[in-house]
Amino acid sequence: MSDTGERRHAGFKHRTRVAAAQDTLAELVPVLDRTETVPLEEADGRVIATEVTADRNVPHYARAAMDGYAVRAADTFGASDRSPTVVRIAADEAGGPGEAVRVHTGSELPDGTNAVVMIEHVEELGGELEVYDAVAEGENVGPIGEDIEAGRTLFEPGHQLRPSDLGLLKSVDVREVPVRAEPEVAVIPTGEEVVQSDPTPGEVIETNGLTVSRLVERWGGSARYREVVTDDEERLRQALETDLDADILVTTGGSSVGARDLTPDVVEELGEVTIHGVAVKPGHPVALGHVADTPILLLPGYPVSCIVNAWLFLRPAIKWALGTEVNAPPTVQARLDRKLRSEPGMRTLARVQLERGDGGTDEVDREGERQDERDDEIDEESDEWVATPVSASGAGVLSTVALADGWVQIPESREGIPAGETVAVEMWEALP
């Protein structure tokens, strides 16, 4: 029997665990050494390529931190509500001994002064000023370099820039930023039944390639969204060879062991399939491999399976290529209102919707377990989050992802999660 026949006959008797598959993929994805310089205004979300230091102090002058009067601290010694100190209001912007200069928040501290008395603690009397609060030297004054000192390291290589970071860089007069080049990710949808529009019976509109390419852009890569390639070995081979200059190559569809699942065979001819079949649900027919130095990720054709595996493997691969951390998504702690089922040994990503709780429910699940057992423990006006499973299956039903608020990851060691348990709902689409 040929290798192809053996693979199809054997099916997926062995499925690699998610963590092990990620480790294998990590070995195939090097950190990119390409860099470029971009205008600061276009650097949001980009990854710093070299250390960035401040060339100037912020602020670059001593400034008033409050509205009031700049004074010499010694001139206010002993001032109190019952015994104010009287000083002259200066005729110009410099303050001499026994004089005060009107200042506003952010104003440069006038020469000859070293403190600011708040406007609430003074009273003007003609050309004089009664001071009702003694101030120490430097009080209510922002010194030079209070925010940033010249020479300070602002960012290390691998830091992903946020809008607040751009503001910080602009404050030290940075106009351009050295960043790592975005990983080039070729996204090739496959399938003889896949069309871009106007499907006839038996055909489906291409969505996986569009979804994955936009996720690539969100996750920090640059996507090449290719045309659909039909289930033909020669055409698949040509499509893969065309994009071997990409940093990461991704196909959607044709990754399983059916008669029309040809992509693993083509990759094996050109290079190596290192993993075929991962212990994840939905989406176990995912494959990882490489041709020469190009890592290849073969995503399943069912839309939900495709998205799940893109999150588990493609997103980390992009982050690894950029040399940045694979940070976890924000989570919401929620009470599960129905039992979630899963298969031991498989990591399950269960889609859920979130809503504010009402203190319990009287629904009964399939096993006859009443869901109101925890009612006495929950305030009737509780504002806790409640997670409702969208679908326990339906890997081909894209709406179950689009209509879900997030998903719950059930580890391989568990066989489902009972109703009433608090779970962490991952808001995976909220994270770049």
Do 3-19+181-322 and 63-142 share a fold? no
pLDDT of residue 373: 45
Tokens representing residue 68 in the block = 């009031």
Walk across the sheet containing 99-103 and list its strands: 115-118, 68-71, 99-103, 85-89, 128-131, 122-125
Tokens representing residue 285 in the block = 């027919």
pLDDT of residue 358: 61
327-366 pLDDT tens trace:
999 999 999 999 999 999 999 999 999 998 764 443 434 3
pLDDT of residue 361: 41
Positions in the chain short of pLDDT 50: 1-5, 9, 359-381
Class of residue 103 by CB neighbours under 10 A (exposed 0-12, middle 13-18, buried 19+): buried
pLDDT of residue 260: 84
pLDDT of residue 258: 84
pLDDT of residue 382: 59
Name the amino acid, one letter, at 222: S
Neighbours of 54 (CB within 10 A): 21
pLDDT of residue 287: 96
Highest CATH level, class, for 3-19+181-322 = alpha beta
Highest CATH level, class, for 35-58+146-180 = alpha beta
14-62 pLDDT tens trace:
899 999 999 999 999 999 999 999 999 999 999 999 999 999 999 999 9
Query: Domains of the chain: which residue ranges?
Result: 3-19+181-322, 35-58+146-180, 63-142, 331-430
- 63-142 is classed CATH 3.30.365.10: no
Q: How does the average pLDDT of the chain come out, rounded? A: 89
Name the amino acid, one letter, at 401: V
65-80 pLDDT tens trace:
999 999 999 999 999 9
Closest CA to 160 of 117, 109, 218, 231: 218
Pick the CATH number of 331-430 from 3.20.20.140, 2.40.340.10, 3.40.50.720, 3.30.230.10: 2.40.340.10
Q: How far apart are CA 122 and CA 82, in angstroms?
A: 13
Sign of CA dihedral 355, 358, 359, 360: negative
Neighbours of 390 (CB within 10 A): 19
Q: How many Cα atoms within 13 Å fall on the side-chain side of residue 206?
A: 23
Phi, psi (deg, nearest 5) at residue 195: -130, 160
Contact 101, 114 (CB under 8 A): no
pLDDT of residue 63: 95
Q: How far apart are the first and last CA of the chain?
A: 46
Strand partners, 410: 348
